[in-house]
A = this chain, B = another copy of it.
Amino acid sequence: MPLQLRSLIRPDATLELSLAEVPMPTPTHDDEVVVRVEASPLNPSDLGLLFGGADMATAKVSGTAERPVVTASLSPVALAAAGSRVGQSMPVGNEGAGTVVAAGASAAAQALLGKKVALLGGAMYAEYRAMPAAQCLPLPDGATAAQGASCFVNPLTSLGMVETMRREGHSALVHTAAASNLGQMLNRICLKDGVPLVNIVRKPEQAALLRGQGAQHVVDSSQPDFQAALVEAIAATGATLAFDAIGGGKLAGQILLAMEAAIARKEQAAYSRYGSNVHKQVYVYGSLDRGPIEIARGFGMTWGVGGWLLFPFLQKIGPHHVQQLKARVAAELTTTFASHYTREVGLAEALTLEAIGVYGKQATGEKVLMRPSAG
């Protein structure tokens, strides 16, 4: 029987990752297809569900090489936060791509038979996945499953940032952890669309990488002049909106402070003890640092920090607009929206401590591609 990766939080505060044997899916109605999943990325947005807040430093592996079982401990706080998922064996994997190997009777489903398609919807860390034909995105001719594996999360998130900027009346962006796959993608979109972008990175080599890809404003938070350089870059772009992948720590507040300083310089405004009345916003969309967000103020009263998430955004803009975004992704799949992987793992290999050590640390520049089926 085909394998599917499962994540279970047991009531004894133990995370258990394993490979379950599941029945081979078949089309349950005329409009459904079955896809052999050949490639699926290990995104930061997958790791929350996969690890369930467990302390992966405590991870142990048992079972066999073909059927490994990983266990790790949860703190009482993490167990409480896990809430209703405790005791539920959950499939994992937001997106992937593969070949349609079975199809229902409808013309739309039959038309996909043998085609390579991209999928979004969970349970992608599995050898096979059933899916409505309408939710499959056919890949351009010649594209591989690896090229189509990350069609949705990073492309739609980065497009969503630019779209949010336009909808909320801003004209430039700040992005953190900017050398990530997503950050490189956002940089390509902004270069192509003429959107000024301030890229914040954490290492000199990341700054060099982005500059090599044409980024005009790159600021390295590891440098002693970070805050001053950030003000300069924000002043040059006029950015009043930031998307922050990191979350914990002082960065969100530092960005707001730099925005206010840039605005004050431009406005040469009369003193107001409440600061400028230009709205400054940081959306936190990731949790690379899971610690508390520390916002030291000093940037007036016209500001906001909040969560931003892809799926509510897509719901807000509506299916017609989502379809336009997806069409752009398909059209620019191997250029603007190309993803790069530094490693590939099979289902069983993903459950080794060595592989977890690589994709679990979410290091910028390292990205792992799961290969659930040999394909």
Contact = CB atoms under 8 A, between A and B. Distances in A.
A273 interface: yes
A270 B250 CA distance: 33
Given A48-B273, A49-B273, A83-B264, A301 B297 contact: no
Contact of A293 (B285, B297, B309): B297
Interface string A278-313: 000000110100111111111011111111110110
A346 interface: no
Interface in A236-258: 247, 250, 253
Given A48-B273, A292-B294, A293-B297, A306 B304 contact: yes
A49 to B, nearest CB: 5
A292 B90 CA distance: 38
A307 B298 contact: no
A293 B292 CA distance: 9
A311 B277 CA distance: 10
A64 interface: no
Nearest to A78: B298
A307 B304 contact: yes
A301 B308 contact: yes
A334 interface: no
A306 B307 contact: no
A206 B142 CA distance: 71
Interface residues of A, number: 45
Nearest to A286: B301
A342 to B, nearest CB: 25
A374 interface: no
Contacts of A253: 292
B298 A81 contact: yes
Nearest to A277: B312
B297 A302 contact: no
Contact of A297 (B273, B277, B290, B298): B290
A85 interface: yes
A303 B308 CA distance: 8
A14 to B, nearest CB: 17
A84 B267 CA distance: 11
Given A81-B298, A305-B305, 11 more contacts: A84-B271, A292-B295, A293-B293, A294-B294, A301-B308, A302-B307, A302-B309, A303-B306, A303-B307, A304-B306, A306-B306
Interface of A: 48-49, 77, 81-85, 88, 90, 247, 250, 253, 264, 268-271, 273-274, 277, 284-285, 287, 290-298, 300-309, 311-312
Closest 3 CB pairs of A and B: A304-B306, A301-B307, A85-B271
